[in-house]
Amino acid sequence: MVAFTLDPDQAAWAARVREIAAKELRPLAEAGEPGRVNRPLLAALGELGLLARVFPADGGPVAALDLCLLRESLARECTEAETALALQGLGAHPLLTAPAVAARWLPEVTAGRAVAAFALTEPDAGSDAAALALAAEPDGTGGAAGWRLTGEKCWISNAPEADILTVFARTGPDAGARGVTAFAVPADRPGLTGEHLDMLSPHPIGRLVFDGVPVGPDDVLGAPGHGFRTAMTTLDLFRPSVGAFAVGMAQAALDAAVAHAGERTAFGGPLKDMQAVAHPLAEMATRTEAARLLVYAAATAYDSGAADVTARAAMAKLYATETAQYVVDAAVQIHGARALRRGHLLEHLYREVRAPRIYEGATEVQRTIIARELYR
């Protein structure tokens, strides 16, 4: 396959996903409460087999290009469905490192019956993810030695409604990335509480408080002290697909702007004939296609095991999310005041598009990663 060209089967599948999103998923999304987990939507994603595309039944790795096509296609028609699917993948993907945990939880996550969350960020450890302070204190009571989690996580998607959380905590005295361990923590563990946070972004985000939450050796994901590696491996897979989400939003905004400029008349003719509108449309289309190609390139690099996947993933997320912000903003400008009315597609995208430039590594962090990789 040529690296950046979809074959007919891929193109047909992407079109089918867009159709499903528009006809079956969007009504469920619109019926949900903004800022809360939409369980009927998750159940539909499971019943339609879309969540299974994130967790292959044979236990093998998910194809990054497949994930990117899925996220882009969903985002063009229903950002809520895209985000619900992506958060399941991000929260549960680390569970694959512990076969017993995966056997318990992945069937529920894939069916859309259990909600997963990726609990990495803390109030003082956002872009500097290695600055984690959530403490895992040794606890030898009750048989096999374990730990008690004490501290706080913040800005966690799907919190506090998630059923199973991937939690990163410091089990060793070393600073930085060393001494961090990843745990699978069911939401019903004693000492775990949380609250919703009212955010600009319409998807669910919350805060989690750990007051001596017990975890044991069976809850460890990967190996003790290797949690930061687990986090970064997960992010290498999902960062290009964040770019795919951004490309889907950019394409939706571009399609809306093209349609509006062709129908709306001003100063004696359609907007599309005015250079002040035509040139921004051309720029929006070019940047969107360039972002799409970067995303496909990063996904292909991941699937082929390329050595430069970290740099490519960072480039894809950086350029695609910045492009989506530009394209959505330009589309709003072309539409004028109507695009700012509550319920308009572009009003929704305008709120949705801002967060991806921050989560899973802010734009500035991606630039730092890319620069560091140049000298590796």
The DSSP code sequence of 219-270 is: GEESSTTBHHHHHHHHHHHHHHHHHHHHHHHHHHHHHHHHHHHHH-EETTEE
Catalytic (active site) residue 352: no
Per the model's pLDDT, the better-predicted residue between 136 and 57 turns out to be 136
Tens digit of pLDDT for each residue in 8-23? 999 999 999 999 999 9
**Mean pLDDT computed over every residue of the chain:** 92
> Closest Cα to residue 327, out of 294, 360, 353, 356?
353
Tens digit of pLDDT for each residue in 333-367? 999 999 999 999 999 999 999 999 998 889 999 99
Rounded to a whole number of angstroms, the CA Rg of the chain reads 21
- Range with the lowest mean pLDDT among 26-35, 157-166, 173-182, 298-307? 173-182
Whether the per-residue pLDDT at 289 is higher than 80: the answer is yes
> Tokens 């996550």 — which residue?
109
Distance separating alpha carbons of residues 129 and 216, to the nearest angstrom:
23
pTM given for the model: 0.92
Domains of the chain from N-terminus onward: 8-110 (1.10.540.10), 116-225 (2.40.110.10), 229-374 (1.20.140.10)
Among 72, 82, 122, 360, the one annotated catalytic = 360
- Over residues 96-111, the mean pLDDT reads 95
Query: Taking the chain, what is the end-to-end CA distance rounded to the nearest angstrom?
Result: 29
Tens digit of pLDDT for each residue in 141-171? 544 579 999 999 999 999 999 999 999 999 8
Distance separating alpha carbons of residues 165 and 142, to the nearest angstrom:
23
